[in-house]
């Protein structure tokens, strides 16, 4: 995740506060109260206020870093864990399908029983299935079994290991002979 300008500014403020603490300890340890911002402050009060700012900012930065790490871990592991949980839910529902009180112990509700279709609904579903099959051109197993293709003029030439490199003539056919290492183009299907 990128850092916004606002966050960078706050981190810069925390770093500056720590530098100001170091400078105050070095140059104002023996000074009397310092007057600024319409008030007077002792060096100890200044150090305490600046340290509070730095501590708060660093705490926020640490929390943000921890949050980003936890979000990354969740992103890496959540998909597999959610899939595992769903599989377990299905297992529990299948195991205790007839016991709604046990399902409630798992925080699950029993599956609703499927309501039987009325005669009108069955007729509408059958008509819809028929219309869908007609629109898609799908066929059943019996209709597909009646469809066959026809192939004519296939010549098979056996290939043996001792075949010479020259063209071999086949008796009584006009199919081209295949020589060893040669390639032939196949004609398009009709």
Confidence of residue 1 (pLDDT cuts 50, 70, 90): very low
Partners of residue 36 on adjacent β-strands: 39
pLDDT in tens, 91-139: 999 999 889 999 999 999 888 888 898 999 999 999 998 888 888 887 7
Give me the DSSP letters along 121-175: HHHHHHHHHHHHHHHHT---HHHHHT--------------TT--SS--PPTT--P
The proportion of the chain whose per-residue pLDDT surpasses 70, expressed as a percent, equals 78
* Count of Cβ atoms closer than 10 Å to residue 141 Cβ: 6
149-154 long-range Cβ contacts below 8 angstroms, 24+ apart = none
C-alpha–C-alpha distance, residues 92 and 99, integer Å? 11
Q: Which residue has the higher pLDDT, 4 or 130?
A: 130
Report the number of secondary-structure helices (H) and strands (E) in the chain.
5, 2
pLDDT (mean) for 17-25: 90
C-alpha–C-alpha distance, residues 56 and 63, integer Å? 10
Confidence of residue 42 (pLDDT cuts 50, 70, 90): confident
Determine the 3-state secondary structure of 161 from DSSP.
Answer: coil
Residue in 48, 59, 43 with CA at minimum distance from that of residue 10: 59
pTM: 0.41
């Amino acid at each position: 995740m990128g850092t916004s300008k606002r966050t960078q500014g706050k981190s810069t403020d925390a770093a500056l506060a720590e530098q100001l603490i170091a400078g105050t300890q070095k140059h104002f340890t023996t000074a009397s109260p310092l007057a600024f911002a319409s008030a007077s402050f002792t060096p100890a009060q200044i150090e305490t206020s600046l340290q509070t700012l730095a501590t708060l900012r660093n705490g926020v930065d640490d929390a943000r870093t921890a949050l980003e790490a936890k979000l990354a871990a969740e992103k890496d592991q959540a998909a597999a864990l959610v899939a595992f949980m769903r599989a377990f839910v299905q297992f529990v529902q299948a195991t205790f399908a007839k016991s709604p009180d046990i399902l409630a112990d798992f925080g699950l509700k029993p599956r609703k029983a499927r309501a039987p279709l009325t005669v009108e609904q069955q007729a509408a579903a059958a008509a819809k299935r028929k219309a869908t099959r007609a629109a898609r051109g799908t066929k059943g197993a019996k209709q597909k079994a009646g469809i066959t293709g026809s192939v004519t003029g296939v010549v098979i030439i056996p290939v043996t290991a001792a075949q010479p490199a020259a063209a071999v003539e086949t008796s009584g056919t006009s199919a081209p002979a295949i020589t060893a290492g040669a390639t032939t183009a196949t004609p398009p299907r009709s």
